[in-house]
């Protein structure tokens, strides 16, 4: 069962929405090549309603999938024999550049079905989806343009696509995103008061109390401030291409984007090992290299509903942590602390644990623990 919750999903679909749903599913199957049985089923679907063919062609055009349909032109009903001529100019310029992973926008009230009707003044595909993970959860989401988002614990994003903009509004938590390349439609991540924009790269964004941490793992991104009234702007306005003189962060670089305006934002070069440590959460791990016990426990707390409190003992404050911790394995952590490193714990209610330093001969001032699978 998925641990990502889609917000505002409708329980029922109208006739046109159902037709669009079927067309999207058929395009996904066509993209991986149909079996003989599926070809027969597709012909049957065509015969059920003439509009089925039209919708399939419309969606294929909008998703740059017309080239795929040429392989199946013999399956189209004779009434649509004009298909090849009508779309020949499209087919000469289309490239199979986009993998149609899902076609889900129609589940939302915000989805615009105007492209199904010929008399509309413009052709716009609008999609708006909300995704969230609970504490200790993570999940990977494949978007229709073949971009991929990995949500970390307790995160919330709103995804909005139009014909000219791709907007990922990170309202809480942390994400890593691989951006599908599209020069005509940059992808913008809105986080705090910042906009992080790329046309095809990969980066990690974490929203904290007064800053946004940005790590670029591939390519280059640009950063600028968002409009203070961004809620009143249309997605196309928010997602406008940033000027070339915007702050640029490249692969292997990190910057803490200050949301208070009181700190100078400095780009820092980090080595591959540091990048791997920062992103180890994607494999369900947390890696520490000498952080204080207080900082380590604060990070661990993000993945559990348990609050950790350190006693005022100075020795406890000096403990440093190095090693790998499995996210969510509180029991394993407490066993290591108790059995090996002279740190006891006391449970206070169901959601709080107080850590104390046990004064013994030969006490340790450095804690190294490994909680493995």
The string of pLDDT tens digits covering residues 192-214 is: 889 999 988 999 999 998 899 99
pLDDT band per the 50, 70, 90 thresholds, residue 106: very low
How much of the chain exceeds pLDDT 90, in percent? 31
What digits encode the pLDDT tens for the residues 67-87? Answer: 666 666 666 654 443 444 444
Q: What is the rounded average pLDDT for all residues in the chain?
A: 76
pLDDT at 150 over 90: yes
7-23: burial string, b at 16+ Cβ within 10 Å, e else? eeeeeeeeeebebbbbb
pLDDT at 215 over 60: yes
CATH number of this structure's domain 284-368: 3.55.50.30
pLDDT of residue 152: 97
Higher pLDDT, 189 or 19: 189
Q: Which of 32-36, 85-89, 272-276, 303-307 has the highest mean pLDDT?
A: 303-307
pLDDT band per the 50, 70, 90 thresholds, residue 239: confident
- Long-range CB contacts for residues 342-346, cutoff 8 Å, separation at least 24: 343/316, 343/319, 343/367
Average pLDDT over residues 259-287: 89
pLDDT at 94 over 70: no
> Could you tell me whether strands 285-292 and 320-326 are parallel, antiparallel, or unpaired per DSSP bridges?
antiparallel
pLDDT at 365 over 80: no
pLDDT of residue 134: 94
pLDDT at 256 over 70: yes
pLDDT at 105 over 90: no
How much of the chain exceeds pLDDT 70, in percent? 70
What digits encode the pLDDT tens for the residues 43-71? Answer: 888 888 878 887 777 767 665 566 666 66
Alpha-carbon distances of 63 from 38, 101, 103, 126, 172, rounded to whole Å: 21, 11, 10, 12, 30
pLDDT of residue 104: 37
Q: Which of 78-87, 131-140, 282-291 has the highest mean pLDDT?
A: 131-140
Domain boundaries, the chain: 15-100, 126-273, 284-368
pLDDT band per the 50, 70, 90 thresholds, residue 312: confident
pLDDT at 137 over 90: yes
Cβ–Cβ < 8 Å for 116, 126: no
Cβ–Cβ < 8 Å for 29, 60: no
pLDDT of residue 124: 37
Cβ–Cβ < 8 Å for 148, 177: yes
Higher pLDDT, 365 or 192: 192
The CATH class of 126-273 is: mainly beta
> Could you tell me whether strands 127-132 and 366-368 are parallel, antiparallel, or unpaired per DSSP bridges?
unpaired
Distance CA 57, CA 77 (A): 13
pLDDT of residue 113: 37
pLDDT of residue 14: 56
Q: Containing H/E element for 333?
A: helix 330-340
pLDDT of residue 102: 33
């Amino acid at each position: 069962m998925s641990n990502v919750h889609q917000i505002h999903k409708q329980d029922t679909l109208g006739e046109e929405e159902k037709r669009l749903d079927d067309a999207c599913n058929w395009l996904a199957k066509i993209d991986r090549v149909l079996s003989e049985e599926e070809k027969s089923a597709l012909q049957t679907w065509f015969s059920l309603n003439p509009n089925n063919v039209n919708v399939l062609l419309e969606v294929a055009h909008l998703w740059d999938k017309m080239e795929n349909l040429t392989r199946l032109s013999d399956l189209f009903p004779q009434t649509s024999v004009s298909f090849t001529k009508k779309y020949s100019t499209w087919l000469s310029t289309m490239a199979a550049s986009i993998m149609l992973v899902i076609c889900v926008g129609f589940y939302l009230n915000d989805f615009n079905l105007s492209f199904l009707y010929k008399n509309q003044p413009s052709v716009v595909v609008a999609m708006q989806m909300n995704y969230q993970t609970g504490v200790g959860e993570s999940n990977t989401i494949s978007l229709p343009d073949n971009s991929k988002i990995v949500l970390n614990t307790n995160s919330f994003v709103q995804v909005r696509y139009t014909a000219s903009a791709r907007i990922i509004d990170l309202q809480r938590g942390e994400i890593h995103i691989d951006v599908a390349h599209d020069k005509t439609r940059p992808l913008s991540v809105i986080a705090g008061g910042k906009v992080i924009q790329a046309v095809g790269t990969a980066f990690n964004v974490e929203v904290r109390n007064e800053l946004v941490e940005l790590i670029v793992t591939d390519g280059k991104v640009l950063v600028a401030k968002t409009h203070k009234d961004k809620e009143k702007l249309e997605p196309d306005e928010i997602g406008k291409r940033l000027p070339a003189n915007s702050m640029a962060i490249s692969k292997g670089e990190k910057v803490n984007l200050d949301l208070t305006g009181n700190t100078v934002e400095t780009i820092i070069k980090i080595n591959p090992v540091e990048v791997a440590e920062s992103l180890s959460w994607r494999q369900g791990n947390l890696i520490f290299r000498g952080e204080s016990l207080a900082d380590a426990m604060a990070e661990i707390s993000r993945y559990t509903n348990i609050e950790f409190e350190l006693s005022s003992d100075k020795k406890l404050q000096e403990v440093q942590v190095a090693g790998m911790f499995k996210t969510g394995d509180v029991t394993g952590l407490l066993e290591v602390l108790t059995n090996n490193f002279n740190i006891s714990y006391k449970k206070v209610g169901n959601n709080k644990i107080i850590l104390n330093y046990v004064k013994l001969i030969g006490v340790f001032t450095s804690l190294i623990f490994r909680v493995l699978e």
